[in-house]
Amino acid sequence: MRARVPGKPARATRIVFVDAFLSSNQKVLAGEGADVAIRGVRAHLFIDGAKFRSLKDSLKDMRHSELPDGSSLLELEFGSSVYDSDSGTLAIYFSSLSGLGSDAAWEQKQFFNDAKLALSYARADKPLVERKVAATSSVKWLENVVFRGKKKADIVYQHPEEMLENETARGVSFPELESLSLSLPVELVTGGALSAPQMQAVCYAARSFKSRLPGEPSSAGGFLLGDGTGCGKGRVISALLAHAATRPCGTTPPELQAEVERRRREGRARRCLWVSLSRDLAKDAERDLSDIGAEALGLRLFESIDKAENCDPSSAGNVLFITYAKLRNEKNAQDVVAWLGGHLAEGLIVFDEAHSAKNFVSGKSGASTLQGRMVNYVQTACPMAPVLYASATACTEVNQMAYMPRLGLWGAGRQFVNFTDFCQDVESRGIAGMEEVALKLKASGVATSRSLSHAGSKLEVLHAPIDAHRVASYDRACGFWEHLQSEAILALAEMDQLENDLRAAQMKTEIENSSDANSAKCKKMPRSLFWNLFWSCQLRFFRQFLVSLKVPEVKRRVELCMAEQGQAVVTLWGTGEAQLVEAQDAEDGAPPPSCPEIMLEQFLKKHFPCPPEEYVRSMQMSCEELVTLLGELPEPTMEPSQKVKETLQERAQLHWSLPANSSNALQLESLQRQDAVTWTANFSGATHPEARRAALHAELLSLQLPQHPLDELLDVLGGPAQVAELSGRSHRLVRELGKWQKVSRQSNNVQEQHAFQAGVKRIAIITEAASTGISLHSDRRRSAIGFMPRQRTLIMAELGFSAEKTMQQLGRVHRSNQEFPPRFEIVLSPVPGETRLASTLTSRLKTLGAVTRGDQRGAGSAFFGDQDFGQMLSAFDRRGENRATFDQLAEELQGEPELSEALARISMDDHISFTGEKEEWTVSKLMQRFLGRSMMLPISVQHAIFSRLQSLLARSRDGSEASEIPQEAGEKGPSKQLACRSHDERPKRRLERTPTPLLASAKRSRMEDVPPLTNARLHQDAPPLTTARLHQDAPPLTNARLHQDAPALRPQPYAGRCLARTRQGLQCTRALAVHEGCEGSDFCRLHAREAAKNDGMPILGRIDGPTPE
């Protein structure tokens, strides 16, 4: 027994020793308030600080019982030993747990665990964790499996946690296993290293590996290990590596058998490859190989290609561990293929966390990521090597399955010749087709898709209250984004004018290559690109801000978890390191650097529509003007004084009509004398867009935005000494002696994981970089080294867009061999726009479940879909009707200028068409855009707009239910009646037979009675469309007629809108001004103010005014 860090002793109420031979001989060792503890390598029992006896040497048995008054009794039965001759029973009485504080109750539980651990070491027949034997009827497939030495397993253990399949997948059976020979020792099964579900995956994978793909006799089969997170896929991979490295010669083509045999003698034929996500997972890989005794089977793990190349060629079965990041290098990929043996390689290729290669596009190398291309290259270059794809989230959509050709769903000799045909056929039938793919894979015996039971787990959705000062900070940020949007619109127009003026000046002077090249320097950014960057930055900014709003609630939930003697895991996504690079150490007492502020600074600097930094404008003055300004002519060879610079800057502001606050951007670059009477002053920052950017930057500095939530949480939860940070960043902000400083992280993720699992740090914050592969659950194996596992609480502070990564994050605390089922707490802010994040997540979870589990409810959508934000999603999203819904909403808000202007600011009409959406199983992009952009509105405005939208949808839904027509069976897409039901109300789907062949046409029978649509039939009832017929009822289209009915033809949603137009001819979408002084105006508040200053016309160089008659 290992010695652990001693904690506080448990408090007993009475301790009595009863002699084994004379029961009447009872000795009271301690009374009320006695301290008891078990410490040291030999598990010595201490009573009130005095050593009593070594449990490891003399403990024979123990019994724990509850007494009628609620207290408990622990009886330790001792036998004589070398060190102690007295045998008897030690009775230790404890108070009821319900009457103790959390710390005292925890120490009592820890004492019981230490006693059980000591007993397990003293008696081999008293293991710390009891394993259950699987029923023979549930493992009939094992009867035909023969292990090394022609042995068969007579016993197999159940998995430590219950593993389940969804209802749809349970209706499909694996194919008959028949006879199978495994090159594994039978002790792996009979000793409990592999449970029954793990062994089933090993058997069917081995069956698939020995087969050949139809139409490709030289290509070995593959297998998808799609079990959920925490199911023990690492041991399955290790067992398959051992089998593949030591199995007999397979079905090698005769012409290659001699070469393969020669390579096998040289030790080169059975080298295996293990590709995973990060180097942190290499330790887990070594642990899994050690658990199955890989060293005795000849398997050794290497972590670099150089070591693999230099290994002893006579030792077969070596395993190369490499990350996807290294495999992305083409040279590394070629070296790996050469080390494996190329086209003669027979060792197993494992793509762990295989979803990392999902962005491979078959037949389009330019559209594929380099990572996806290299994964495909390794498979193509080693056709005889079997391939194992291991991932709990293999793909979210069918078009992401292209990296798994060895599953046999497409290719020569199969139903689909290529992946494109396969993908199009599945997508044409929507989510039902995706579910059929998963069921087909199981029926073919090439995939497993089980998951751990959530029995005992609890999920709670919490709505975080927001402090008043955080609400005010959020609203200030919204005001800034509104100002930024309006300034960007004006800056884009000014950049157009600036570019036109430069082009005109160049043409006028007939200079093809201007000396200062200002015309080339002033190339503006395309509008569509700018607005894409604008809305992307807006979404990242407010997504980060939302988490900042929830920090007080997250802190409160963590403190509650600590009070209950648990351990908390807080999940985030971003780290803010991209902004942290530019952060500076704060002064004493100054607020910490703000990552949202730095994000906006970067956007203003890189993307706000402005000329480049090297662009200069020249102002020419005569000598008389210069003398009038400065009092005398400056010396051309000398640097102008500060007073001269300020005077010339004031003159430049008047010359170019720059705003008064542009002085921060305007800088004098040079003052030169051109000839005897002319001087030229060159300025940078001398344009209106640059002046606007400078003003925005000054306004940004006054917002007092919060710091990144990761740094804030780290600080409020106790700092790095109390909190384990598992992230991908190299620096972080910490507060030392009241001063914020940027420091390097001293520990890596593996060290932080060990500190958390050992209970040294009871709080962990994980980000995207640590969301895969690592274990943070209440591991029973920790009991074997003296640590009582604590219950885990996962607090999801930030919702992500990726369904795969979200499921991976949830799997960090819900894994096999856990002592306590975890609790999940999702913290939502009262900001309605956060529905954007929940909507994307829930819709992608549906498609993830359909592809990987055979049921759209199988990957967590049911886990989340029953919650209020899942119901909100289904209530808001009305496929095919969202455009009309927003038009109606704009019409209803015409009488409320504030809401109408707010809706106009997040207009969904720019740059993207929403017609022809083929993914009927995803949330409409129009609705996603509305939810995402609404986050830039003040919280009160968001609530008002969402309330009006909900009432509008309720009225529309009530009016359409009577005319609802159920869809025919086989038609794609869910019925509208089911779209708004909760998960519990949906009818349960049962599959009582093997599914029909993959991708069989479901609509063919309904098309048999439809006559062919020929050209003659198309036009048989239609009179010829001649020019005379086209115009016979239409009066001539004159200019007068064009405008006489214009008000009547105006789209209804824009009634009561501003009549001003931009320089590009676009209609202003703001509502008419109704405030005092603007009654009866034809313009919005902004244009009305400008019209009042310019004789009734809203000009100023950027507005054309009303449409002329």
The Cα 276–Cα 280 span in angstroms is: 10
The neighbour count for residue 881, using CB atoms within 10 Å, is 15
* Residues 328-366 as b or e (16 or more Cβ within 10 Å = b): beeebbebbbebbbbebbbbbbbbbbbbbbbbbbbeeee
Question: What pLDDT digit, counting tens, does each position of 863-908 carry?
Answer: 444 444 444 444 555 555 667 777 888 888 888 889 988 888 887 5
At 842, is the pLDDT very low, low, confident or very high (cuts 50, 70, 90)?
A: low
The Cα 484–Cα 698 span in angstroms is: 12
Residue owning tokens 């009530």:
958
**619: which strand partners?**
681
Q: Is the confidence at residue 511, as pLDDT, over 50?
A: no
pLDDT value of residue 55: 85
The Cα 247–Cα 763 span in angstroms is: 45
Q: Which two tokens stand for residue 745?
A: 């992280």
The Cα 308–Cα 327 span in angstroms is: 15
The Cα 617–Cα 752 span in angstroms is: 56
* Residues 220-255 as b or e (16 or more Cβ within 10 Å = b): bbbbbbbbbbbbbbbbbbbbbbbbbbbbeeeebeee
Beta-sheet pairing, 34-39 with 10-19: antiparallel
* More confident position, 743 or 980: 743
CB 270 within 8 A of CB 252: no
Q: Which two tokens stand for residue 788?
A: 């009582």
Question: What pLDDT digit, counting tens, does each position of 848-864 carry?
Answer: 444 444 444 555 544 44
pLDDT value of residue 399: 85
> Is 418 strand, coil or helix?
coil
Q: Is the confidence at residue 512, as pLDDT, over 50?
A: no
* More confident position, 372 or 121: 372
Nearest to 703 by CA among 478, 486, 547: 478
pLDDT value of residue 199: 94
CB 345 within 8 A of CB 385: yes
Q: Which two tokens stand for residue 726?
A: 């598992």
The single-letter code of the amino acid at 935 is M
Nearest to 912 by CA among 599, 604, 537, 536: 536
| DSSP code string of 448-484 | E--EE--TT-EEEEEE----HHHHHHHHHHHHHHHHH
Q: How far apart are the first and last CA of the chain?
A: 95
Residues in the chain, overall count: 1109
> Is 678 strand, coil or helix?
strand
CB 604 within 8 A of CB 693: yes
pLDDT value of residue 728: 84
Q: Is the confidence at residue 468, as pLDDT, over 60?
A: yes
Question: What pLDDT digit, counting tens, does each position of 933-974 carry?
Answer: 888 999 999 989 888 888 887 777 665 544 333 333 333 333
Q: Is the confidence at residue 1066, as pLDDT, over 60?
A: no
Q: Which two tokens stand for residue 102?
A: 């959390």
The Cα 897–Cα 939 span in angstroms is: 17
Burial class, 445, CB count within 10 angstroms (exposed 0-12 / middle 13-18 / buried 19+): buried
CB 692 within 8 A of CB 582: no
| DSSP code string of 346-378 | -S-EEEETGGGGTT--TT-GGGS-HHHHHHHHH
Listed in order, strand segments (DSSP E) in 203-258 are 212-213, 216-220, 222-225
The Cα 72–Cα 66 span in angstroms is: 4
Across residues 150-166, what is the average pLDDT? 87
By percentage, how much of the chain surpasses pLDDT 70? 72
Q: Is the confidence at residue 377, as pLDDT, over 50?
A: yes
Rg (CA), the chain: 36
Q: Is the confidence at residue 762, as pLDDT, over 90?
A: yes
pLDDT value of residue 364: 78
pTM greater than 0.85: no
Question: What pLDDT digit, counting tens, does each position of 17-43 carry?
Answer: 988 777 677 888 888 889 999 887 778
Across residues 231-254, what is the average pLDDT? 79
Question: What pLDDT digit, counting tens, does each position of 326-363 carry?
Answer: 999 999 999 999 988 888 888 899 999 888 888 888 87
The Cα 393–Cα 808 span in angstroms is: 8
Instruction: Evaluate the CA torsion angle 1086, 1088, 1093, 1099 in order and state its sign.
Output: positive
